[in-house]
Amino acid sequence: MKKNLQFLLAGASMLVSFSAIAQPVNDDCTGAISIQSAFGQPIGTTTVLGPYDNTLATTNASDPIAGFECFGEPNGSGTAPSLENTLWFTFVGDGGKYFIETADGAGVTNYIDDGDTQIAIYTGACGTLTPYVCNEDGPSSGANGNPPYPAGLTFNTSPGVTYYMMIDGFNFLGTISNGQYLIEVTQQQTVACADPSVSIGTASANATFVCPNDTVRFDITGVVTPTVGLVSGLGWVVSNADLLGTNDPILNPATIAGYAVQNPAPATSFRTYVNNGSLIGSAQVPYGTYYWTPVIFGNGTVATSPGTFMTQLQLDPSCTITGASIPVIVYAPGSPACATGLSDVNSNGFGISQLRPVPATDELHFNIGANTSGSVAIEVTDITGKSVTNLNIDIAAGSKTVTIDLSSISAGVYNLNARMGQENSRVRFVKQ
């Protein structure tokens, strides 16, 4: 669709001359469009502005060189944030707290690719801008990492202060998000630190360990956060010790990393971690047991620009609630606990295959392959060799899928042993 649009534009330019193609008036800061009408509306009222189209927008020397560090280029990693097709907007603060995000809706005929926008807000004047807040993917982004990815953020305004908002399209490895979007502005209700509705909610994980390249998901429900201060919301931190009882997890020496803050924080949300060696697995942060901890807070301030991630903030201990830490074992490549596939296979083709315990299940499924028929003895032993369950099955020539009930054994590392005559096969696995 994008390629067709570009072709039509190119064809039209050949017919009517290049003067028909013009950059948007708000292509740079000095031409910023006022969105002042959206501010000062009743709390909870959403004002919708636009649509705006960045297809012909550009970047130029007047664009800032800082304040967009939260942008996710080149591949979502945020290692090389960049600007591609910036549009500029301006407004004057009134002291209220506002949520701004981009969106699809009425009047949009060519929604920006994947809904993928990025927002950076500044104070000061064009040419001498000071970074204020930044967002890559807001709370309206799709579930499970799927599109759309609209930027959205909540922030406090100061009365009489002029703000400039830059909205850019994401550049995924050279593929740039172009198209139209709306801007939605909603004044937020203020929730004080001591408000009785404030709640850390209930958090859980779908696994107690992650093998290499596996993913663990952390869910949380029932969250109500304070909304006071420059930065507030829900964040997660990762530590190498339990953070139970601390009211300033950022300064705790056990904390090693933090996720992006969700602001405003949805009542139900999740975070994930993929065991690919990018966070845990270095000499400084070796494999082992780590703790994922949810934190809600208000009155936060930015310690390190742009203040998008928990570890870039300074928290107010009197307005911070730390939830229960969830321990998860992060296994290194080659760990026996993550062994899968064939083991001790002999020349007759006998062995255990396709074994992978499913997290949070009491069943273990695997295949036994054999070139001859016969009785197979199945035994599960703990790490010391003590038998915890055993059975015998008869198989015909070929293979058989076997299911073992593990409900009677506790979580831990076990060996699965299969024996047919003098032929033996063994695989180590973990029950959660």
Q: Which of 276, 302, 330 lies at the terminal end of a domain, its last residue?
A: 330
- Candidates 370, 380, 386, 385; CA nearest to 421 is 370
Q: Which of 330, 348, 378 lies at the terminal end of a domain, its last residue?
A: 330
Q: Which of 330, 359, 379 lies at the terminal end of a domain, its last residue?
A: 330
Q: Are residues 18 and 164 located together in one domain of the fold? A: yes
Q: Are residues 143 and 46 located together in one domain of the fold? A: yes
Instruction: Report how far residue 424's alpha carbon sits from residue 421's, in angstroms, rounded to the nearest whole number.
Output: 8
- Candidates 40, 9, 8, 11; CA nearest to 22 is 9
Single pTM value for the model: 0.57
Domain CATH for 166: 2.60.120.380
Residue 340 pLDDT exceeds 60: no
Q: Are residues 42 and 109 located together in one domain of the fold? A: yes
Percent helix, percent strand, percent coil in the chain, to nearest 5:
10, 40, 50
- Candidates 203, 319, 316; CA nearest to 251 is 316
Instruction: Count the Cβ atoms, other than its own, within 10 Å of residue 54.
Output: 24
Instruction: Report how far residue 339's alpha carbon sits from residue 427's, in angstroms, rounded to the nearest whole number.
Output: 6
Q: Are residues 254 and 370 located together in one domain of the fold? A: no
* Residue 197: inside a domain: no
Q: Are residues 382 and 282 located together in one domain of the fold? A: no
Contact assessment for residue 279 and residue 296, using Cβ atoms and an 8 Å cutoff: no
* Residue 108: inside a domain: yes
Q: Are residues 216 and 288 located together in one domain of the fold? A: yes
Instruction: Report how far residue 155's alpha carbon sits from residue 38's, in angstroms, rounded to the nearest whole number.
Output: 15
C-alpha of 236 from chain center:
11
Residue 115 — φ and ψ, nearest 5°?
60, 25
Q: Are residues 183 and 213 located together in one domain of the fold? A: no
Residue 311 — φ and ψ, nearest 5°?
-75, -5
Residue 4 pLDDT exceeds 70: no
**Tally of domains in the chain:** 3
What average pLDDT does range 46-65 have in this prediction?
Answer: 94
Please provide the average confidence, as pLDDT, over all residues in the chain: 84
Residue ranges making up the domain that contains 409: 339-431
Q: Are residues 213 and 273 located together in one domain of the fold? A: yes
Bigger pLDDT: 214 vs 11: 214
* Residue 177: inside a domain: yes
* Residue 193: inside a domain: no
Q: Are residues 146 and 75 located together in one domain of the fold? A: yes
Q: Are residues 55 and 166 located together in one domain of the fold? A: yes
Q: Are residues 112 and 179 located together in one domain of the fold? A: yes
The sign of the torsion formed by the CA atoms of 185, 151, 29, 10 equals negative
Residue 423 pLDDT exceeds 70: yes
* Residue 135: inside a domain: yes
Q: Which residue has the tokens 């996710």?
A: 72
Highest mean pLDDT among 101-110, 212-221, 278-287, 417-426: 101-110
Q: Are residues 152 and 222 located together in one domain of the fold? A: no
Q: Which residue has the tokens 């998008």?
A: 308
In 3-state terms, what secondary structure has residue 389? strand
Domain CATH for 232: 2.60.40
* Residue 266: inside a domain: yes
Instruction: Report how far residue 160's alpha carbon sits from residue 91's, in angstroms, rounded to the nearest whole number.
Output: 10
Compute the radius of gyration of the chain from its Cα atoms: 27
